[in-house]
């Protein structure tokens, strides 16, 4: 007697088939990116995880570490319409969002026409976002959250998908406006970009100073990226992993019974951190060829998810502690 396939099993088979196709696409994306970006595997991975999860990422690192090049490369490989804004203190919200201009037709009748700004892109590179004034920062961050803008009472929807990859220089603080905590929370992940290793830096010197440079090829398009983002949200998450996410996020908040956190942390992550970890853990599993996230995904994502959603007490900073130190301690406790 033949086995009757249930709707659930058919759904499961469809997800497996879709995941296998997505794995192939992601492998091709990684190959194309590696033609241009040498080393920096964790940076590439975390930036891609933010995009595959449907969110925005903040890349933090000193100048010259290929942050801008990575974003440009991703735009080409993912087949997205990309724009770039170089933030400066005198940049106004209208320089980002767009503005109304007055037109006059042949009969002399005047009317206003909206000219779209660079925010109308599928992938927006926001270079040195902390150089812009708070007013301009908030205009961009509101667009990131709402996925539309309003000019003169008229709503304009942003393209879909819409991702912002912003960069920030952590060293040079003169003439900058640090992002407020509530606005940092809008970024799904904070990706720390460190100096390349010796072998990678050697390859950079050899590959980028000749007459020709490698050019990445498009692998997917915006519609296919949206399909993969939908698949990420369909991936199953076990109760064990959900409990681990809740336990880790809650342990990073003072007043929740963790002695180390109570001593060192002024304020901790809200529920948005757990949401980010749920999405990115699924994306990371898919990125590494698995159909469901594991505890290892949670521990690997602890730093990029939590780092920009916590602040240390004055006493902890005076002792020379960093948020990374606290997160590493929490992960160690979670692993037991």
| Nearest residue to 295 (alpha-carbon basis) of 309, 306, 281, 276 | 281
Residue 308 DSSP code: G
Q: Is 250:305 a contact under the CB 8 Å cutoff?
A: no
User: First-to-last CA distance in the chain?
Assistant: 49
| Phi/psi-derived region of residue 293, left when phi > 0, alpha when psi is between -120 and 50, beta in every other case | beta
Distance CA 141, CA 151 (A): 16
Kindly report the backbone phi and psi dihedral angles of residue 72, in degrees, each rounded to the nearest multiple of 5, phi listed first: -60, -45
Per-10-residue mean pLDDT of the chain, 336 residues long, equals 46 82 92 88 93 94 84 92 91 90 81 88 92 88 89 89 90 74 88 89 85 85 94 92 96 90 91 95 92 94 94 91 93 89
Can you read off the two tokens belonging to residue 57? 């990422």
Q: Is 284:301 a contact under the CB 8 Å cutoff?
A: yes
pLDDT value of position 330: 94
Helix (H) or strand (E) holding 194: none
| Nearest residue to 45 (alpha-carbon basis) of 304, 326, 335, 332 | 304
pLDDT value of position 329: 94
Distance CA 75, CA 72 (A): 5
- For 196-229, give the secondary structure using H, E and C: CCHHHHHHHHHHHCCCCCCCCCCCCCHHHHHHHH
| Nearest residue to 314 (alpha-carbon basis) of 256, 269, 253, 264 | 264
Distance CA 305, CA 275 (A): 10
């Amino acid at each position: 007697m033949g086995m009757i396939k249930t709707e659930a099993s058919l759904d499961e088979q469809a997800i497996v088939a879709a995941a296998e196709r997505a794995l192939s696409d992601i492998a091709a994306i990684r190959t194309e990116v590696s033609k241009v970006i040498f080393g920096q595997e964790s940076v590439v991975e975390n930036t891609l995880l933010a995009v595959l999860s449907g969110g925005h990422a903040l890349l933090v690192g000193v100048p010259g570490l290929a942050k801008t090049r990575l974003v440009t490369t991703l735009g080409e490989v993912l087949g997205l319409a990309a724009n770039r804004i170089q933030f400066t203190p005198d940049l106004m919200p209208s320089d980002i969002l767009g503005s109304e201009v007055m037109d006059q037709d042949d009969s002399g009748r005047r009317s206003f026409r909206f000219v779209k700004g660079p925010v109308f892109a599928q992938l927006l590179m926001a270079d040195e976002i902390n150089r812009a004034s708070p007013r301009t920062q908030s205009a961009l961050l509101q667009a990131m959250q709402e996925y539309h803008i309003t000019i003169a009472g008229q709503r304009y929807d942003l393209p879909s998908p819409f991702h912002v990859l912003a960069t920030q220089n952590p060293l040079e603080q003169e003439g900058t406006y640090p992002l407020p905590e509530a606005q940092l929370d809008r970024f799904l992940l904070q990706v720390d970009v460190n100096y390349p290793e010796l072998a990678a830096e050697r390859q950079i010197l050899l590959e980028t100073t000749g007459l020709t440079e490698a050019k990445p090829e498009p692998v997917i398009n915006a519609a296919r990226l949206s399909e993969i983002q939908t698949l990420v949200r369909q991936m199953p998450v076990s109760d064990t992993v959900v409990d681990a996410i809740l336990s880790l996020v809650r342990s990073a908040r003072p007043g929740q019974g963790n002695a180390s956190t109570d001593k060192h942390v002024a304020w901790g992550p809200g529920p948005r951190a757990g949401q980010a970890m749920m999405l990115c853990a699924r994306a990371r599993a898919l990125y590494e060829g698995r159909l469901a996230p594991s505890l290892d995904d949670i521990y690997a994502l602890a730093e990029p998810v939590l780092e920009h959603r916590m602040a240390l007490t004055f006493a902890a900073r005076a002792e020379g502690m960093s948020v990374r130190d606290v997160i590493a301690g929490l992960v160690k406790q979670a692993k037991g």
